[in-house]
Amino acid sequence: MQINEFGNYLKQLREDNDLTLRQVNTLSEVSDSYLSQIETGKRGIPSPEILKKLAPIYNVTYEHFMQKAGYLDNIIQYELEHIVPKTIKILRENKTSINLKDDEKIAKMIKIILGIQ
């Protein structure tokens, strides 16, 4: 999601919850001027720590915010590039009969566990 898109999304959520920037500031201890800059695209996507403070106020889950902000995509990409091959390597070391079809099945199972297809 682009910075402006996320800012617009955040603003829409705030308005859908009938909140002012000052109210969000009071409830989250996140500066209303900082929130305004995010909403107008003058600041980038907030850190996971800020999103964690805002999620309950905007009535969304922290995981939802993390996904919308693009953080989960990066985590999943990391897991696919690093965790899956390491897992297959460990399995191979402990069981010599793993073949290419097994690799594909293992990768598929891990993707299912991670919730990606």
- Mean pLDDT across the chain: 83
- With 90 as the cut, is the pLDDT of residue 96 above it? no
- With 60 as the cut, is the pLDDT of residue 117 above it? no
Answer whether 0.85 is exceeded by the pTM: no
Q: How far is C-alpha 17 from the geometric centre of its chain's CA atoms?
A: 22
Which has more confidence, 57 or 93? 57
- pLDDT for 57 equals 97
- pLDDT for 79 equals 64
Kindly list the domain boundaries of the chain, sorted by start residue: 3-69, 72-114
- With 90 as the cut, is the pLDDT of residue 82 above it? no
Alpha helices in 1-117 (DSSP H): 3-16, 21-28, 32-39, 48-54, 62-69, 71-78, 84-94, 100-114
CATH number of 3-69: 1.10.260.40
3-state secondary structure of 52: helix
Which has more confidence, 99 or 71? 71
User: What contacts 7, CB < 8 A, 6 or more positions away?
Assistant: 38, 39, 40, 41, 43
